[in-house]
Chain A
Amino acid sequence: DAMVIQNPRYQVTQFGKPVTLSCSQTLNHNVMYWYQQKSSQAPKLLFHYYDKDFNNEADTPDNFQSRRPNTSFCFLDIRSPGLGDAAMYLCATSRDGSGGANYGYTFGSGTRLTVV
């Protein structure tokens, strides 16, 4: 089945040690999104790629970076994780940038990041 896959499901990293989360999709969607969801909060958009065009949200910390080497893969890099970065990280895709007009959004199962 076409889907959005996030690996790993759970990630434990040390304070200050760089960590990379991955997302892959078989939908051939143009847009990929990364959301951060802290405990008991709503998912918060960090950034998104429209094809190769990177779009950063104004309040996304510099500590967060992203790469999209091809249509299928997108990575979230946290350069120096702090305790406050512990969260669920959700990847999503949409066919285009038309607000979910076509096929809506498809979410992965998320990666739950713990910082120790």
Chain B
Amino acid sequence: AQKVTQAQTEISVVEKEDVTLDCVYETRDTTYYLFWYKQPPSGELVFLIRRNSFDEQNEISGRYSWNFQKSTSSFNFTITASQVVDSAVYFCALSEFQGGKLIFGQGTELSVKP
């Protein structure tokens, strides 16, 4: 069965600090997809990134970067020089090629204080 664990329930940082959100997953499939979503207080899910299981290259998009390590089943998300607008709940999610259902971790609530 697939499972996603985000051990950090809440993180609070001061603006301009770097912050890393952890994500650990479990799956039996060899082909799977990992996602990060941002959920601001308004409630909609904002897609940030999708990574397939065959691509372990790290990715950087502006202040955002992601570190995918199959050896530790982790897909961590780092925000560099955090800003108040980064305050939100962030979800890591997993879908298996066979079945296709998207399963979410419990989410990490990030609070960035001025």
- Which A residues contact B (CB, under 8 angstroms)? 31, 33, 40-45, 48, 88, 90, 92, 94, 96-101, 104-105, 107-110, 112
Report A-chain residues with C-beta under 8 Å of the C-beta of B91.
Answer: 42-43
List residues of B whose CB falls within 8 A of some A CB.
29, 31-33, 35, 42-45, 47, 50, 52, 91, 95-107, 109
Distance, CA A33 to CA B95, complexed state (A): 13
Given A42-B104, A45-B102, A105-B102, A99 contacting B97 (CB threshold 8 A) = yes
User: Could you tell me if A88 and B101 are in contact, using CB atoms closer than 8 angstroms?
Assistant: no
- Neighbouring B residues of A94 by C-beta, 8 Å: 100, 102
Minimum distance in angstroms from A41 CB to a CB of chain B:
7
Q: Which residues of A contact B32 (CB under 8 A)?
A: 99
Residue numbers in B under 8 Å from A104 (CB-CB): 33, 35, 47, 50
Residue contact A45 to B47, C-beta cutoff 8 Å:
no
Assembled-state Cα–Cα distance A108/B103 (Å):
17
Q: Which residue of A lies closest to B33 (CB)?
A: A100
CA distance A41 to B109 in the complex (A): 11
CB nearest neighbor in B for A104: B50
Assembled-state Cα–Cα distance A105/B43 (Å)? 16
Question: How many Å from the CB of B112 to the closest CB on chain A?
Answer: 19
B100 interface neighbour in A31, A43, A90, A108, Cβ under 8 Å: A31
